Amino acid sequence: MAREFSRTQRVADFLKQELAGLIQLELRDPRIGMVSVTGVEVSRDMAYAKVFVTVLGKDTEEEAMASLEALNHAAGFLRSQIAKINNARTTPKLRFVFDQSIGRGAHMSKLIDDAVAADRAHAQDRDDGNNATPPDAAGRDGANH
């Protein structure tokens, strides 16, 4: 029987929960701001973890760079705190990266909304053009020929 979750996935979920709490409660660096941990990817050998974060009010990686630098500077401290909580043999080395999926999702949603609005406008224009003389059964425009 196949496992439902792999060990790396369980470790990633554990890190996501613990890091979210530690960042909010333990880090006092004002450069960090309001950070949300959106995901964690753990390497197969459990040596490295890529932590995806978003920063409130920052839509691009350039805007969030100060927060990312502060988080990566505090990565050693956070790793040591995780090691105290976790009874695993090793604790992955943490690297924080900006999660662009939320901004990308908002952009895709806007594109879809724009396409739907353009489609509705096109359908409205087509309906307005058909209100003239309806064609007869022979496909002619209704005028006597």
Please give the backbone phi and psi of residue 60, each rounded to the nearest 5 degrees, phi first: -125, 165
Examine the domain organization and report whether 55 and 120 are in the same domain. Answer: no
Examine the domain organization and report whether 66 and 105 are in the same domain. Answer: no
DSSP state string for 15-62: HHHHHHHHHHHH---TTT-SEEEEEEEE-TTSSEEEEEEEETTB-STT
For the chain, the maximum distance between any two Cα atoms, rounded to a whole number of angstroms, is: 92
Examine the domain organization and report whether 118 and 90 are in the same domain. Answer: no
Q: Is residue 135 part of a domain?
A: no
- Find the helix packing angle between 75-85 and 65-73, rounded to 10°: 50
Of all residues in the chain, what percent carry a pLDDT higher than 70? Answer: 86
HSE value, Cβ hemisphere, 13 Å, CA-based, for 15: 33
pLDDT digits (tens, 9 = 90+) for 75-110: 999 999 999 998 888 999 999 999 988 878 888 999
pLDDT digits (tens, 9 = 90+) for 60-75: 889 999 999 999 999 9
Examine the domain organization and report whether 71 and 114 are in the same domain. Answer: no
Q: What is the pTM of this model?
A: 0.73
Q: Is residue 87 part of a domain?
A: yes
Whole-angstrom distance, CA of residue 131 vs CA of residue 120: 17
Domain CATH number, residue 80: 3.30.300.20
Range of the domain at 36: 7-99
Structural domain total, the chain: 2
